Amino acid sequence: MAFAGIAVVWVLGAEGTNLTVKNIDFSLMLFFILSLALDLLHYIIGAWGWGRLQLNARDSGEEEIEEPKRLKGAMAKLAFLKVLFTVSGYLMIILKLIKF
């Protein structure tokens, strides 16, 4: 969805096309770029956290792995933030189109 948002801003903000909208500027891409950055961070932290957890469990000989609350909380916050930035970007585009 974030890549599609970048494409919408790119197409509507490009000058010299029939689809150009005056109020659309490339700063709206910031919402979608931040969403993609948070998505990447979400996967990096998740992979690293679960990898460390499995490594520690393997070293200690535990059969069951209990998910740490801190890791679960961080993953939930990052997931919420990336959705929030994506939705905010689309809302900003809609508001700009309404003013058009």
Provide the pLDDT for residue 23. 67
DSSP state of 20: -
- Phi and psi at 40, nearest 5°, equal -65, -45
* Residue 85 structural domain: 2-99
Q: How many residues does the chain have?
A: 100
Provide the pLDDT for residue 55. 85
Look up the pTM and report it.
0.80
How many domains does one find in the chain? 1
In degrees, to the nearest 5, what angle opens at C-alpha 40 toward C-alphas 11 and 76? 110
Other residues' Cβ atoms within 10 Å of the Cβ of residue 78: 19
| Pair 82, 39: CB distance under 8 Å | yes
* CA 48/CA 70 separation, integer angstroms: 13
Provide the pLDDT for residue 18. 64
- Phi and psi at 20, nearest 5°, equal -65, 135
Provide the pLDDT for residue 100. 65
Averaged over successive runs of 10 residues, the pLDDT of the chain (100 residues) comes to 90 71 79 96 94 84 80 94 96 85
Provide the pLDDT for residue 46. 92
